[in-house]
Chains A and B, each alone.
Chain A
Amino acid sequence: QITLKESGPTLVKPTQTLTLTCTFSGFSLTTSGVAVAWIRQPPGEALEWLAFIYWNDDKRYRPSLKSRLSITKDTSKNQVVLTMTNMDPVDTATYYCAHTVYKFWSMDVWGQGTTVTVSS
């Protein structure tokens, strides 16, 4: 059974860096064709994809946020870490991580989400 869980601060100040951790079980990020995605959802708004990290350590970022995002994996701990620099109130959202696989890259298992508020 695949599970994922997000963790991190619930409140960050503007200009600070956000670090979120996705801890997963039931799969390995060393298995060919497997990836973990980060997606966010501002209150009352639509889903917004942020980043992928693939089994081969390839990475993809949302173009509009590419300069602010970094995604890494620790396969020994079964964790994926997303960092977002220079946080702004518009980044207030629920942040999800999700399991996805080649070839259709559908997010078939999601974490419960973690809510992050950006405020001074």
Chain B
Amino acid sequence: DVQMTQSPSSLSASVGDRVTITCRASQNIDYHLNWYHQRPGKAPNLLIYAASTLQSGVPSRFSGSGSGTDFTLTINSLQPEDFGTYYCQQSYTSSITFGQGTKLEIK
């Protein structure tokens, strides 16, 4: 299995801040990397696919970058509704795997 490791595991930030979450794959996954946001008690929501393509309807303050093994999700100008947990997911292999999640708290 391809292991996905996110950092940090949790963070606290203020409205208006810029936040960066990283995701590292245990092997090359090219750009087959997707990002999701999940609020408590809700299903995940796709934010970014193919490492850097913004899903339709997702605010432009979200952006993704990276390829190979190292990836980044950036949230510019953090909004109150951005709290929750963020997950990366690789789809390079048919046995897909998720990261362990990054819990974002709004100060």
Which one of B44, B49, B96 has the highest number of Cβ atoms from chain A below 10 Å of its Cβ?
B96
Contact check: which of A52, A63, A110 meets B43 at CB < 8 Å? Answer: A110
* A55 at the binding interface (Cβ < 8 Å): no
Other-chain contact of A49, B49, B97, B101 (Cβ < 8 Å) = B97
**Is A83 engaged at the interface, CB distance under 8 Å to the other chain?**
no
User: In the complex the two chains form, is B91's CB within 8 Å of A63's CB?
Assistant: no
Asked if B89 and A46 make an inter-chain contact with CB atoms under 8 angstroms apart, the answer reads no
- Give the nearest-CB partner of A66 in chain B: B95
Give every chain B residue within 8 A of A49 (Cβ-Cβ).
Answer: 89, 95-98
- Cα distance A107–B45 in the bound complex, in angstroms: 8
Task: Determine if B44 and A52 form an interchain contact, defined as CB atoms under 8 angstroms apart.
Answer: no
Q: How many residues of A contact B (CB 8 A)?
A: 19
Q: Smallest CB–CB gap between A23 and chain B, Å?
A: 15
Q: A46-B98, A49-B98, A105-B91 are in contact. Are A63 and B50 (CB under 8 A)?
A: no
Q: Which of B1, B34, B94, B101 contacts A52 (CB 8 A)?
A: B94
* Smallest CB gap from A97: residue in B: B43
A37 to B34, CA, bound (A): 15
Given contacts A63-B1, A106-B49, A46 and B101 within 8 Å (CB-CB)? yes
* A47 lies within 8 A of chain B by Cβ: yes
The 0/1 profile, CB within 8 Å of B marked 1, for residues 12-53 of chain A is 000000000000000000000000010000000011110010
CB neighbours of B32 from chain A (8 A): 104-105
> Least Cβ distance of A110 to chain B in Å?
4
Verify if B87 is at the interface (C-beta below 8 Å from A): yes
Pick 12 A–B contacts, CB within 8 A, sort by A. A46-B98, A47-B38, A47-B87, A49-B97, A52-B94, A60-B95, A96-B43, A104-B49, A105-B91, A106-B91, A107-B46, A108-B55
A residues in contact (CB < 8 Å) with B: 37, 46-49, 52, 60, 62-63, 96, 104-108, 110-113
